[in-house]
Structures are given as structure tokens and as C-alpha cells.
Amino acid sequence: SKAKLFDEKTDTRTSFKDVAGLEGAKEEVEEIVEFLRNPDKYTSLGGKIPKGALLVGPPGTGKTLLAKAVAGEAKVPFFSLSGSDFVEMFVGVGASRVRDLFKQAKDKSPAIIFIDEIDAIGRARGKNNFTGSNDERENTLNQLLTEMDGFGTNTNVIVLAATNRADVLDKALMRAGRFDRQIYVDLPDIRERKEIFEVHLRPIKTLETLDLEFLARQTPGFSGADIANVCNEAALIAARNEKKAVDKQDFLDAVDRIVGGLEKKNKIIT
């Protein structure tokens, strides 16, 4: 198939304002934005700009969002691919996709490359490889390592990768000059959940009396993606009930529905 494996977008719409909470992670990536904006300033004294950083954390916590915000804030193109796209790929295809991706990013540098689910290609090599079916994954991983090593000090391409399984990654990926920085992106605490509600309620017509503190308290363990879902679901429930604005009960019903969905998901896993 001709499925596009990476998107290039000059995504100036996503900014740090869209990313709620995650203060520590934002502070760390802020530095990357600075590097991309003024590479010469940082290399003028002989320093080397980092080539990559790993965003580590549970699903739906905003890793992709944060990577897009880095590109948006720095006003540089955003090239992305997902590790899972490389599963079951024909021999040679994965490696050549990686080569193409890096070439395009270098041509348009400064730029961000984002690799989601890097564990799908970056699992430790030489394990569970009885059938040889992992060969292409290994080729792809090797190509990725080669590309990162091949960056000159003034390439100005920074590779961000996301995973929720940093423990299974090949140690070679974390070596100096590759993904040598790890940035933790955790589930939001109550204060952060309130901030995430604020972001996702922006486009939604709610009653003015809506208590965000209350909503944050009703959603322990929810990720940012879950909260985005709750807000959307609440708006749909209210509309279905012919309401003019979304109220507390719609949110409670939406929370119930999302909790129901999460429980089902967990049941399948365990």
C-alpha cells in the first residue's frame, strides 16, 4: 500500500498553551525549543545540541501533544512516524523509510522528528527472535541508530520519541548522542486534571456555575486523553438531551461512560 508513514506539517497551531499541567516536562522541552530557534547561539562555544529525547509515560498523557507543541513553539516542521507502522513490513522497507524521513527532515532543518511507540522498533535486539521475523524490525532500529550517529553537530534536527515501555528499549538507543535525555510525562494529579479540563472546555458551552475542582475530583487516574473524551462526551450527551449548555450531570454521565470503557479495556488486558 501507499500508506504515508510520516507527516510533515509546519504545525504552528499547537503551542504550550494547549498542554495543561506537565510543568516539569514543559520546562525540559522548552530548552529544545530554544536550541531550535537559535542553534548558532548554542553551538558558538563548541557545545553540541542534543540529538534526541525520550518522552516516557502512560498512554494518553500528552507525549504526542508535547512534541507537536515543541515544533509549534519553535515554528519548525514536524515529521512523525509511529513504531507500530513498521510491524510486518517487508524487508528493506522500514530501513528505507527511516532513511527518507531523516533526509527530508535534514533538508528542511531546523526540524523535529517524532517517533511514537518507539518500543515497537526499539525493543532490545536479539530477544524472542527464534523465527527470524524480527529481522526487519532490527534493520529499522539499526538504521535509526545510524541516522542519529550520522547527524553532524549543526544538523539542527531533534528527534523526540515516545514510549510507555522505556524498560524494554535497546540500551543502544539511550547511549550518549542518541536519546540521552529522558523526560517523564505522568498521569495528571488533581490540580493538573483541573487545568486539562480548562483546556478542553474552551470550545464547549457549559453552565457558568460548573465546578472544575469537582470534575477534577471525580476523575482520579484519568489521563489527559480520557479527560478530553469526557468533555466531548458530555457535550454530546447534553445535545442529545436538547440542552442549551452542558451541565454537571452531563459530565457525571460522561465520566461514568468513560469509566465503563476503561474497565472493559482493563478486563481484556488482565
Residues 93/119, Cβ–Cβ less than 8 Å: no
Only segment of 91-99, 124-132, 214-222, 224-232 that touches ligand ATP (CB under 6 A): 224-232
Largest Cα span, the chain: 64
Q: Considering the rule CB under 6 A, would residue 224 count as an interface residue with ligand ATP?
A: yes
Residue range at the interface with ligand ATP (CB under 6 A); choices 121-129, 149-157, 173-181, 222-230: 222-230
Binding of residue 20 to ligand ATP (CB under 6 A): yes
What does the chain come to in residues? 270
Residue 156 or 229: the one with the smaller Cβ distance to ligand ATP is: 229
**Beta strands across the sheet bearing 181-184:** 7-9, 78-82, 111-116, 157-163, 52-56, 181-184
- # of chain residues touching ligand ATP (CB under 6 A): 19
Q: Does 230 bind ligand ATP (CB under 6 A)?
A: no
The answer to whether 63 is annotated as binding is yes
Contact between 186 and 58 under an 8 Å Cβ cutoff? The reply is yes
- Site for ligand ATP contains 196 (CB under 6 A): yes
Closest distance between ligand ATP and the C-beta of residue 46, in Å?
35
Which residues in 42-81 contact ligand ATP (CB under 6 A)?
59-65
User: What would the grid cell of residue 217 be?
Assistant: 475530583
User: Grid coordinates in use for 127?
Assistant: 530477544
Sign of CA dihedral 217, 219, 223, 226: negative
What is the smallest separation between the CB atom of 28 and ligand ATP, expressed in angstroms?
Answer: 14
- Nearer of residues 88 and 189 to ligand ATP, judged by Cβ: 189
Contacts of 74 (CB under 8 A, 6+ apart): 32, 33, 36, 37, 110, 112
Residue type, 144: L
Q: Which of 228, 246, 254, 258 binds ligand ATP (CB under 6 A)?
A: 228
**173 touches ligand ATP by CB under 6 A:** no
Closer to ligand ATP by CB, 20 or 89: give it. 20
Q: How many CA atoms lie within 13 A of 46 on its CB side?
A: 0
Which amino acids are annotated as binding site for ATP, given as ranges? 57-64
Residues of this chain that bind ligand ATP (CB under 6 A): 19-22, 59-65, 116, 162, 164, 196, 199, 224-225, 228
